[in-house]
């Protein structure tokens, strides 16, 4: 009988465990997809979305209280009354929001007007760029003129549809913005009262449970809280850095409305993998409509920014906060994006991360899946 190589056996066991972990995570995503599909087919999804919209001020309040609670607890440790600490936290938050809005709103407003006024010119420039691009090609196998005509027709149709829908879009955007501001203000009020009694509410919820489950539930909640907080903090810092760097780069290059495109790049960057492409595409299109040089410069700038961000910041956020396999993240993006669009893509990674924490917690406690 041949001697078994222990090192090779350990390598096989290690690889098998990694494959099993990936399989379990993909199985979770598939299970979520099937569940959401069933809910959608039964018409329950639309009801859930309506209920969530009605309860959005409560969710805003919970998020605000959750974000500010570490700061208030820090003040409590330094012998500052919780009520006074909550007021101080809100003063800082509202002051920051006021200064941010005061600084950004005029710039965004002016650049939006400039962008809307330049839409016809942008479409004409893009059309000319397409014509010049295809004039340099000469292929016997491909009907270049037909491809060119198709692209120009689609561009013209998009321009016509945009000009028709733009007034109604602006009106809807203003009304939805006003409604969102109202909900956000109500959420701030709810968040303040939640922040005042944050610890009490947590204890009350734990007391509802039987005594034997309280300690384990508290430990699980702490693990979920840590995972979510790491992800949110990292994602916010990441988005802010991308926004600042992109805006400065676009302004230096000479792209029109650099702040708007910088904000969009920063917001979309929160979405792993797909976000940078969604955020950078409009900036590149508008840049090429200005000139080929500006287009190439903006494209290079986005590639450099996203390469640095993707290899350093995003890697740190995803790996340290959620420890999810890239395949799981991509599949989750596809599933949640299919059902909930951009919002679903934003929430997919933290939701799957939370599910992973829950599964690993019960695996550690009951040795269900042997994840160790």
Task: Give per-residue pLDDT as tens, 268-312.
Answer: 887 766 677 788 888 887 787 777 788 888 888 888 887 777 666
Does position 185 have pLDDT exceeding 50, yes or no? yes
Q: Rounded to the nearest 5°, which phi and psi values hold at 219?
A: -65, -40
| DSSP H helices in 254-291 | 258-268, 275-290
Per-residue tokens: 356: 């992973």
pTM of the model: 0.62
Return d(Cα 128, Cα 290) in angstroms, integer. 11
Distance CA 247, CA 238 (A): 14
Residue 115 and residue 102: Cα distance in Å, rounded?
20
Report long-range pairs for 71-80 (Cβ below 8 Å, ≥24 apart). 72/195, 72/198
Cα 143-144-147 angle, rounded to 5 deg: 95
Average pLDDT, the chain: 76
Mean pLDDT of 33-50: 73
| pLDDT-based confidence at residue 1 (cuts at 50, 70, 90) | very low
- CB distance 255 to 287 below 8 Å: yes
How confident is the model over 204-243, as pLDDT tens digits?
666 667 777 777 777 888 888 887 887 887 778 888 888 8
Which DSSP category does 2 fall into?
Answer: P
pLDDT at residue 91, rounded to an integer: 92
Mean pLDDT across 308-327: 65
């Amino acid at each position: 009988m041949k001697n078994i190589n222990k090192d090779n056996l350990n390598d096989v066991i290690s690889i098998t465990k990694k494959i099993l972990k990936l399989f379990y995570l993909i199985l979770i995503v598939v299970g979520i997809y099937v569940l959401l599909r069933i809910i959608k087919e039964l018409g329950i999804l639309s009801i859930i979305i309506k209920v969530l919209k009605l309860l959005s001020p409560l969710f805003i309040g919970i998020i605000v209280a959750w974000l500010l609670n570490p700061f208030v607890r820090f003040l409590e440790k330094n012998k500052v009354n919780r009520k006074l600490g909550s007021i101080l936290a809100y003063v800082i938050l509202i002051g920051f929001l006021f200064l941010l809005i005061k600084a950004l709103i005029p710039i965004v407003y002016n650049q939006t007007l400039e962008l809307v006024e330049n839409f016809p010119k942008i479409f004409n420039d893009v059309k000319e760029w397409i014509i010049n691009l295809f004039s340099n090609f000469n292929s016997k196998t491909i009907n270049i003129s037909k491809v060119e005509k198709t692209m120009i027709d689609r561009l013209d149709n998009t321009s016509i549809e945009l000009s028709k829908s733009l007034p109604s879009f602006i009106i809807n955007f203003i009304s939805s913005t006003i409604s969102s501001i109202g909900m956000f203000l109500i959420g701030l009020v709810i968040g303040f009262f939640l922040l005042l009694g944050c610890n009490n509410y947590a204890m009350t919820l734990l007391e509802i449970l039987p005594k034997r489950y309280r300690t384990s539930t508290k430990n699980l909640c702490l693990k979920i809280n840590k995972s979510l907080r790491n992800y949110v903090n990292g994602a916010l810092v990441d988005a802010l850095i991308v926004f600042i760097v992109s805006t400065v780069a676009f302004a230096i290059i000479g792209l029109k409305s650099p702040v708007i495109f910088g904000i969009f790049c920063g917001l979309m960057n929160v979405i792993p993998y797909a976000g940078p492409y969604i955020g950078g595409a409009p900036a590149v299109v508008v840049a090429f409509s200005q000139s080929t040089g500006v287009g190439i410069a903006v494209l290079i700038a986005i590639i450099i920014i996203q390469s640095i961000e993707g290899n350093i910041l995003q890697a740190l956020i995803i790996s340290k906060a959620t420890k999810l396999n890239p395949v799981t993240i991509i599949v989750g993006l596809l599933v949640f994006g299919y059902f909930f669009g951009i919002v679903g893509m934003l929430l997919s990674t933290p939701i799957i991360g939370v599910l992973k924490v829950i599964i690993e917690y019960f695996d550690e406690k009951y040795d269900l899946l042997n994840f160790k």
